[in-house]
Structure 1
Amino acid sequence: MILGFLASHGGSAARFLTAACRDGRLNAVPVALASNNSGSPALAWAREAGLRTAHLSSAKYPDPDALDAAILAFLQDAGVDTLVLSGYMKALGPRVLSAYAGRVLNIHPSLLPRHGGRGLYGDRVHEAVLASGDTESGATVHLVTAGIDEGPVLAQVRVPVLPGDTVATLKARVQALEGELLLSALRALA
């Protein structure tokens, strides 16, 4: 398995999975990371980690079709066969989705299909969970399709929503389990 990553900010999933590959917990080779944010900490980390990197965004490619083509070319040139979205805050274009159908994974910080879809990311997800009165939350690894957070679920992990939880406490509990969940989903996909 040859892994590529798309990240908008810190790229915590990319960092976790790259470490898992290098210490033998995942039989895969991380090779590339692109970001839509030129100042992304993930880009700096990936360069230091020896991954091929690129800043690919609408600032460089105002035409969405051209951006889609550039992302696809970057991934294919690097030999990527499996793509992981590591906090990537943009929808993928049809070329990337077609070329990597069934091989693009995302982790979402809720038990999809609850609290997913356009506009529900980061702290907004945890705010929605708390506002709903749900007694549990968690994380979901799913395949990426054209519909935001609508792809087939590969794995989920559950955590209780505790009395007095805040966005920060719930988020920390969910995030603590995300890396291992993603790791197990990739192992099953291999």
Structure 2
Amino acid sequence: MSDSNTCNIVVLISGSGSNLQAIIDDLAEHPTAKIRAVISNSADAYGLVRAQQAGIAQHVLNHKEFADRLAFDSALIEVIDQYQPDLVVLAGFMRILTPEFTRHYAQRLLNIHPSLLPKHKGLETHQRAIAAGDTEHGCSVHFVTEELDGGPVVIQASLAISADDNAEQLAQKVHALEHQVYPLAVRWFAEGRLQLHQHKAMLDGQLLGPSGFKFQP
């Protein structure tokens, strides 16, 4: 780890930054890492305000100003690498990343997805879980690879779907779980407990199964 064993983190956001806030709050209690910068592809993302309030550097990189996805990702890498990150955290970053980007940050790139992967990759996961008649739903923190929402799962948290749940209610419940498991996964990584080894997630030297660590709220 850089900086006297402190894990340097860069967080990428596109919106409100509620997971960013959860991580900021957790690191205040468990100072195992330092968020060096928050980068957004949207200038009006509220997460930038959260970063400013926490004294964290902020950057805006508008993807619409670049010729293509690769040009944007290349510029994004330049900004991120100024901070020499040990870990890059995707916290509601609504961009599909190029293979060049995911390879550059291989083994140090985490994402959170609002479903119990491998179920419901992509968007509108809450509505799709209800439409599929699923009895449970939740969220997954995973290492990012070139496959969309397909990298090895680190930790999952689940909840029962109630008969009267709509997509918005389900989203709120899953958000509450996200705010518990994402800071935990980041802390594990910062402490050297979590690693990606030969395309498999490892916690405390033990290989995790396909569903990762099962979090009990």
* Correspondences of 1:170-181 after superposition (within 5 Å): 170-181=170-181
The CA deviation at 1:110 is 0.8
Contact 1:81 1:103 in 2 (8 A): yes
* CA deviation string 1:80-103 (max 9, x = no partner): 210111111101233431221011
Indicate whether 1:64 and 2:69 are aligned. Answer: yes
* Correspondences of 1:140-159 after superposition (within 5 Å): 140-159=140-159
Question: 1:17: which partner in 2?
Answer: 23
Contact 1:5 1:84 in 2 (8 A): yes
SS in 2 for 1:59: helix
Distance verdict in 2 for CA 1:187–1:88, change over 3 Å: same
SS in 1 for 2:142: strand
| Runs of at least 5 residues in structure 1 that lack an aligned partner in the other structure | none
* CA deviation string 1:54-106 (max 9, x = no partner): 11122232333321121111111022210111111101233431221011111
Contact 1:140 1:155 in 2 (8 A): yes
Which moved further from structure 2: 178-187 or 130-139?
A: 178-187
Which moved further from structure 2: 128-137 or 169-178?
A: 169-178
SS in 2 for 1:163: coil
* CA deviation string 1:33-66 (max 9, x = no partner): 1111111111222123221211112223233332
| Runs of at least 5 residues in structure 2 that lack an aligned partner in the other structure | 1-6, 193-217
Question: 1:165: which partner in 2?
Answer: 165
Q: Distance in 2 between matches of 1:181 and 1:59?
A: 32
Question: 1:107: which partner in 2?
Answer: 112
- TM-score where L is the length of structure 1: 0.90
SS in 1 for 2:37: strand
| Equivalent position amino acid for 1:153 in 2 | V
Contact 2:103 2:145 in 1 (8 A): no
Question: 1:116: which partner in 2?
Answer: 121
SS in 1 for 2:97: coil
- TM-score where L is the length of structure 2: 0.80
Q: Distance in 2 between matches of 1:179 and 1:134?
A: 22
Q: Distance in 2 between matches of 1:111 and 1:64?
A: 28
Q: Distance in 1 between matches of 2:91 and 2:52?
A: 16
* CA deviation string 1:139-166 (max 9, x = no partner): 1001111221111111101100111111
Question: 2:9: which partner in 1?
Answer: 3
Distance verdict in 2 for CA 1:94–1:52, change over 3 Å: farther
Identity across aligned pairs (percent)? 34
Which moved further from structure 2: 40-49 or 29-38?
A: 40-49
Question: 1:85: which partner in 2?
Answer: 90
Question: 2:200: which partner in 1?
Answer: none
